[in-house]
Amino acid sequence: AQTVTQSQPEMSVQEAETVTLSCTYDTSESDYYLFWYKQPPSRQMILVIRQEAYKQQNATENRFSVNFQKAAKSFSLKISDSQLGDAAMYFCAYRSAQGAQKLVFGQGTRLTINP
Amino acid sequence: KAGVTQTPRYLIKTRGQQVTLSCSPISGHRSVSWYQQTPGQGLQFLFEYFSETQRNKGNFPGRFSGRQFSNSRSEMNVSTLELGDSALYLCASSLLGTGTYEQYFGPGTRLTVT
């Protein structure tokens, strides 16, 4: 079974600074997808960024980028120019490329932005 | 396009009762997944439906069941409620059942069992 581990329960960063959230995963599969989701206090899960395992190039979405290290099974999220609206729980998630839409989530990292 | 909707948003039930939660996916989406979120266990996959068929089921007891209708709307049912069933139940829909199709989440149903 696949597992996802987020070793940082909480992180904080000054507004406008850069922060990196860590995520490692365990799988025996070679084809899969990785995601970072954001859950603000409203509880609405929002997709931040996704990475296909077969792509070597790291995904970027505006201020959000990932460092995907397939051999090390590592998938970190970098948030540049942090904004107050970035404050939320961030979840790393894994989904197999085979079959159903089952996401395996990490335990989450609570990110606080200090003004 | 309207997002994923879940009803009701909040629910209070007593131990032993049963409950039905509803999820309406984004128009055109055929895959609906359900997740349970608790402080202790985090986010756990319950099941996924695609074209009215359950394609995958998480490690939950048989008290948890679901179904999907021809219009892709989905319901999940929990029978004989236990205190530990108190959680936020999230529904997510996607256009198709495979590939990198993004899953869109609803706002959740907060279930409290007393």
Q: What is the pLDDT of residues A87-99, one digit of tens each?
A: 999 999 999 988 6
Report the C-alpha gap between A66 and A112 in whole angstroms: 19
The C-alpha atoms of residue B78 and residue B62 are separated, in whole angstroms, by: 9
Q: Judge: B45–A47 Cβ closer than 8 Å, yes or no.
A: no
Cβ atoms of B48 and B54 closer than 8 Å: yes
Angstrom distance (rounded) from CA B85 to CA B83: 5
Count of pairs with CB atoms under 8 A, one residue in A, one in B: 62
**Average pLDDT taken over every residue of chain A:** 95
Please state the rounded mean pLDDT for residues A23-43: 94
Q: Which 8-state DSSP code applies to residue B72? A: S
Measured between CA atoms, the residue of chain B closest to residue A99 is B98
Place of tokens 């149903």: B109
Q: B98 falls in which pLDDT band (50, 70, 90)? A: low
B105 touches A: beta carbon within 8 Å: yes
Contact B33, B44 (CB under 8 A): no
Considering only the C-alpha atoms of chain B, give the largest distance between any 2 of them, rounded to a whole number of Å. Answer: 41
Residue A61 in this model has a pLDDT that exceeds 70: yes
Contact between chains at A107 and B42 (C-beta distance less than 8 A): yes
Mean pLDDT, residues A32-39:
96
Q: How confident is the model at residue A1 (pLDDT cuts 50, 70, 90)?
A: confident
pLDDT attached to residue B95 = 84
Q: What share of chain B is helix, strand, coil (3-state, %, to 5)?
A: 5, 55, 45
Which among A43, A91, A100 has CB closest to B48?
A100
Higher-pLDDT residue of A42 and A112 is A112
Q: Locate A28 and state its tokens.
A: 């025996």
Residue B22 pLDDT = 98
Answer whether B92 touches A (CB < 8 Å).
Answer: yes
CB contact under 8 A, B102 and A100: no
Task: Give the pLDDT score at B97.
Answer: 60
Residue from B23, B43, B45, B72 whose CB has the most chain A CBs within 10 Å, to mutate: B43
Contact between chains at A101 and B31 (C-beta distance less than 8 A):
yes
Mutation test of the interface with chain B: which of A35, A45, A94, choosing the one with the most B Cβ atoms within 10 A?
Answer: A45
Residue B32's pLDDT is 95
Within 8 A by CB and 6+ apart from B47, the residues are: B33, B34, B54, B56, B57, B58, B60, B64, B66, B76
d(CA B18, CA B58) in angstroms, rounded, equals 20
